[in-house]
Amino acid sequence: MYATGLTSKKPNPEIEKQVLKLYNQGCSDVKIAGIVGVTSPTISIWRKKRGLPYNKRGILTANEKKTCLKLYKQGKSDGEISRVSGIALHMIYRWRHNAGLSANVGIYSYGVSYKKALPPEQHEDARCFLRAMKALKDNGCKNIDLDMLREVYQRVREM
Work out the average pLDDT over 3-25.
77
Confidence of residue 140 (pLDDT cuts 50, 70, 90): confident
| Residue 156, Cβ density class (10 Å: 0-12 exposed, 13-18 middle, ≥19 buried) | middle
Residue 75 has pLDDT above 60, yes or no: yes
Average pLDDT over residues 56-83: 83
22: confidence class by pLDDT, cuts 50, 70, 90: confident
What average pLDDT does range 73-87 have in this prediction?
A: 83
86 versus 51: the higher-pLDDT residue is: 51
Average pLDDT estimate for 103-110: 56
For residue 66, pLDDT beyond 90: yes
- How far apart CA 68 and CA 101 sit, in angstroms, is 12
At residue 122, does pLDDT exceed 70?
no
Global confidence as pTM: 0.39
Confidence of residue 117 (pLDDT cuts 50, 70, 90): very low
Query: What is the pLDDT at residue 69?
Result: 92
Instruction: Give residues with Cβ within 8 angstroms of 4, minimum separation 6.
Output: none
Contact criterion met (CB below 8 Å) for 129 and 153? yes
pLDDT at position 113 over 60:
no
Please give the pLDDT value at position 25: 77
pLDDT at 142: 66
| pLDDT of res. 159 | 64
Amino acid at 152: V
Q: What is the rounded CA–CA span in Å between residue 52 and residue 39? A: 17
